[in-house]
């Protein structure tokens, strides 16, 4: 099991590092090209691709963190560092999208000349870069939720590159310079949508909300229906970091039940039916002094 996880982590690390190298180099080229060609659409797409660079870097960072051991001071290691970085990334994306909207408004009022040929070339290269990065990540995403999230970021940026090509074609064919800021607004919306999901997910984790798609009531009811269980209370389900749900609960069983055996059965149930591996279950007999004190406390 340890070997399998290590092998999967190594494959994820290689895929993320290669995809990050490809997209980061093109982001630099896109910034330079946007400044030379005078295209806000290229600069906006560079901002969007920069968000993908950050997402890939975060995913790569998370893979590295996953291999670091915990310590007495940090019992969960540094796993929450990924969430804090994601929150900062989301705030930065909101600021960048506001800048894109402001610049687009200015260009609607006074559209500058745009070198459509350069924009078209860089847009086509952007499509090729995102297809290559997507192909690399698609081979490793089945082993990692982190890689799956990064793969989706790259697919979103592919849409941005297609939009850049569309604006360049419109400028070259019709000479309508407003197409450049118009496409920039569309890319700005994509950036804003990306920031919303990042802010929502990172904030939910930091507030220790139940993992997305997990119904706490359904989990509690399923535990209460398990053989030998009389009552379940003080149930908490939260996320340590993305893809790492945790659960704790106090379970009361009948006087004749084997507490240790019931705990193992419930832990197996949570793993098999809800995908929750990290569980802390306190199991007591109904009417025991320790259980009564716990009930009075909560």
Q: Do domains 2-206 and 216-297 have the same CATH topology?
A: no
In whole angstroms, how far apart are CA 292 and each of 192, 263, 289?
51, 19, 5
Which is nearest to 218 in space by CA: 269, 153, 154, 159? 269
| Average pLDDT for the chain | 80
Span 269-277, average pLDDT = 94
Domain limits, the chain: 2-206, 216-297
Span 100-119, average pLDDT = 77
Edge-to-edge, what's the strand order for the sheet holding 278-285? 229-241, 244-253, 278-285
Estimate the crossing angle of helix 116-138 against helix 2-37, to 10 degrees. 180
Q: What is the pLDDT of residue 143?
A: 54
The superfamily CATH assigns to domain 216-297 is: ANL, C-terminal domain (3.30.300.30)
Cβ 21 vs Cβ 133: under 8 Å: no
Q: What is the pLDDT of residues 238-262, one digit of tens each?
A: 988 777 899 999 999 998 899 999 9
CA distance 48 to 152: 13
Span 204-225, average pLDDT = 92
3 pLDDT tier (thresholds 50, 70, 90): very low
Q: What is the pLDDT of residues 275-291, one digit of tens each?
A: 999 999 999 998 765 54
CATH topology assigned to domain 2-206: Alpha-lytic protease prodomain-like (1.20.1510)
Q: What is the pLDDT of residues 59-86, one digit of tens each?
A: 787 777 766 777 777 777 777 776 777 7
CA torsion 144-149-154-159 (nearest 10°) is: 140
Q: What is the pLDDT of residue 144?
A: 57
Q: How many C-alpha atoms does 158 have within 13 Å on its Cβ side?
A: 15
């Amino acid at each position: 099991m340890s070997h399998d996880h290590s092998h999967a982590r190594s494959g994820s690390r290689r895929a993320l590092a290669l995809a990050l190298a490809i997209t980061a180099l093109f982001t630099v080229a896109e910034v330079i090209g946007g400044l030379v060609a005078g295209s806000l659409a290229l600069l906006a797409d560079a901002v969007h691709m920069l968000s993908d660079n950050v997402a890939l870097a975060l995913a790569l960072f998370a893979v590295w963190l996953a291999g670091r051991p915990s310590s007495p001071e940090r019992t969960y290691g540094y796993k929450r560092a990924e969430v804090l970085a994601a929150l900062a990334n989301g705030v930065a994306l909101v600021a960048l999208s506001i800048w894109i909207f402001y610049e687009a408004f200015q260009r609607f009022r006074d559209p500058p000349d745009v070198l459509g040929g350069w924009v078209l070339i860089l847009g086509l290269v952007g499509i090729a870069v995102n297809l290559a990065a997507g192909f690399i990540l698609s081979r490793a995403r089945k082993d990692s939720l982190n890689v799956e999230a990064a793969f989706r970021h790259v697919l979103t940026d592919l849409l941005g590159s297609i939009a850049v090509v569309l604006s360049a074609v419109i400028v070259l064919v019709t000479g309508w310079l407003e197409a450049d800021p118009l496409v920039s607004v569309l890319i700005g919306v994509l950036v804003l949508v990306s920031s919303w999901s990042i802010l929502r997910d990172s904030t939910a984790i930091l507030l220790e909300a139940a993992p997305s798609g997990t119904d706490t009531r359904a989990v509690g009811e399923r535990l209460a229906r398990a053989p030998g269980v009389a009552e379940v209370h003080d149930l908490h389900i939260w996320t340590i970091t993305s893809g790492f749900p945790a659960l704790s609960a106090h379970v009361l069983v009948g006087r004749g039940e084997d507490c240790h055996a019931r705990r193992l059965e419930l832990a197996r149930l949570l793993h098999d039916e809800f995908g929750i591996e990290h569980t802390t279950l306190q199991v007591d007999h109904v009417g025991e002094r320790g259980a009564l004190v716990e009930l009075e406390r909560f």
